Chain A
Amino acid sequence: MIQPIGVIHDIGYRHYDGPRLGRGYATTALALNSLRGVFGLGRAARAKIMPFLIAGTMLLPAVVSIAVMALLKERPLAYPGYAVTMQAVLAIFVAAQSPYLVAPDLRFRVLPLYLSRPITSLDYVAAKLVAMIAALYLLLALPLTLMYLGELLIDLDGPPHTGDYFAALGGGLVCAVTLAVIGVAIASFTPRRGLGVAAVIAFYMFTLAASAVFFGVLLSEGHETAAEWSILINPFFLVDAVQVNLFGTEAANGQGYPPGAGPAVITAGVIALALGALVLRYRKAAAA
């Protein structure tokens, strides 16, 4: 006689009949979680050091500017040039934090786990991008708003620079989108965080140095139009050029930019290129 060797117990697994929140909810949750993660919230204490140090550095000139306005009754810092003035700090933030958004998921191969939920790879990319854009916009808009409130409260001579403030907010959005797309696209090509940071900062320092070299050399040889075009190699000046042509603010390079739609077209092209690279990258990564 054959003894039974295995038994199936009913341990009470139930089917889930409740409401399912769906794709949009999952994407929003991922974006929010990523945004918190960019600032180190919900991560270890040492992950908070860098983003908050950078946020503090971004606020510092605004605070100093308010103090100067209160004591000396003059505006030391214009709103539209804020992003260009603080470009090194913003670049370090993008370089340090965009690999965090994409590299661990690639490295530990957990992308299939995300994609087994209702979100698609496009949703994943969109959520990560939105998180980075929001983080950068916060870094830019917060000091600007603080400065504007300071200006309103201190009540300097003449009307407040409301137009400049809103122009800077608009330009800041373009800046945040451009930087975030470039940073995340570059970072997504390596699963190693260190290499990602190095790659993003290498891109920034290359554009910074190349634009400075061409701008300086072309200007000293009298090719002013070519010099104005060449400084657009640096993404911060490119975005500033868009802002100048769109809102008529003052150019932050002290020289001027090519007028017309040229800078805007280049910016759109750069964003489209980086977006295309990201989408292609994740089509491949999702299959792996």
Chain B
Amino acid sequence: MNPVVASITYRAMLGRKRVWLLALLPVALLAIAVLLRLVGGGDESTAVTVLETFAIGAMLPLLGLIAGTGVIAPEIEDGTIIHLLSKPISRPVITTTKFAVAATLLVLFSAIPTFLAGYILIGTEAGVSASFALGALFGSIAYAGVFLLIGVVTRHAVTVGVIYALVWEGLIGRYVPGARKFSIQQWAQSIADQYSASPFVKSDVPLSFAVPAMIIVTVGAVLWAGQRLRSLSLTGDE
């Protein structure tokens, strides 16, 4: 962990247009929660639908994508990463720091709003809000690691990430049960299922698979990103 790298990354993430993209989705989630509460949809199944479809299903991968690739991909695209790489800081330290920045931002913008949205809808009933917040917390950390790795590996990081989140987790995961085993979204769902007493929360992946998988993927992605950054080529494309 390098505090200077961390502060620069925080400034880059929060000081530009990117922060609007990060903030808009949680605000939309809270707005939907308030709206549904106002029209009287504040029951358990509604809360689970909202948290499952919107918070875990759409907001989590999107914010993971924006934060995870956003901490490193623009610097590589601009070529300004060379200033960072030419300093006597070990490359794995750079990626670990950037991962930590992305993870903290995601906790702030994804896990906390998830809890608040659940709380607005049904309070603390059946532990739905807390369990989904916990799922979002671990899910966002895993997404941060994976998308950071994609950001280092390819110039088309965002597109590749979108395809993973939308096609693999969304489209293929819906029709092919086996694909759900390898979906961060489903792992987050398993954690939410484990800690809530609500009968509406369902998950397809057992927790004994989800948690180790999540840890291995996150740690592996961050370590691999560090290794990749040691031999980054800065040739531009197009």
Q: Name B's A-contacting residues (CB within 8 A).
A: 17-18, 21, 24-25, 28, 32, 36, 40-41, 45-46, 49-50, 53-54, 57-59, 61-62, 65-66, 69-70, 73-74, 77, 156-159, 162-163, 166-167, 170-171, 237-238
Contacts and interface: CB of A to CB of B under 8 A. Distances in A.
Given A92-B167, A194-B74, A195-B18, A50 B156 contact: yes
Contacts of B156: 50, 96
Contacts of B57: 209
A101 B74 CA distance: 18
Interface string A64-104: 00000000000000000000000011011001100000001
A46 interface: yes
Contacts of A202: 21, 24-25, 62, 66
B238 A92 contact: no
30 contacts: A47-B237, A88-B166, A88-B167, A89-B167, A91-B166, A92-B162, A92-B163, A92-B166, A192-B74, A192-B77, A193-B77, A194-B69, A194-B74, A195-B21, A195-B70, A197-B158, A197-B162, A198-B62, A199-B21, A201-B162, A202-B21, A202-B25, A206-B28, A206-B58, A209-B57, A209-B58, A213-B49, A216-B53, A221-B40, A221-B41
B64 to A, nearest CB: 11
Q: Which 4 A-B pairs have the closest CB atoms?
A: A209-B58, A197-B158, A209-B54, A194-B158
A218 B45 CA distance: 12
Question: What secondary structure prevails in chain A residues at the interface with B?
Answer: helix
A91 B18 CA distance: 21
Question: What secondary structure prevails in chain B residues at the interface with A?
Answer: helix
Best-buried of A43, A89, A91, A205 by chain B (most CB within 10 Å) = A205
Contact of B157 (A89, A194, A217): A194
A44 B238 contact: yes
Interface in A200-242: 201-202, 205-206, 208-210, 212-214, 216-218, 220-221
B50 A213 contact: yes
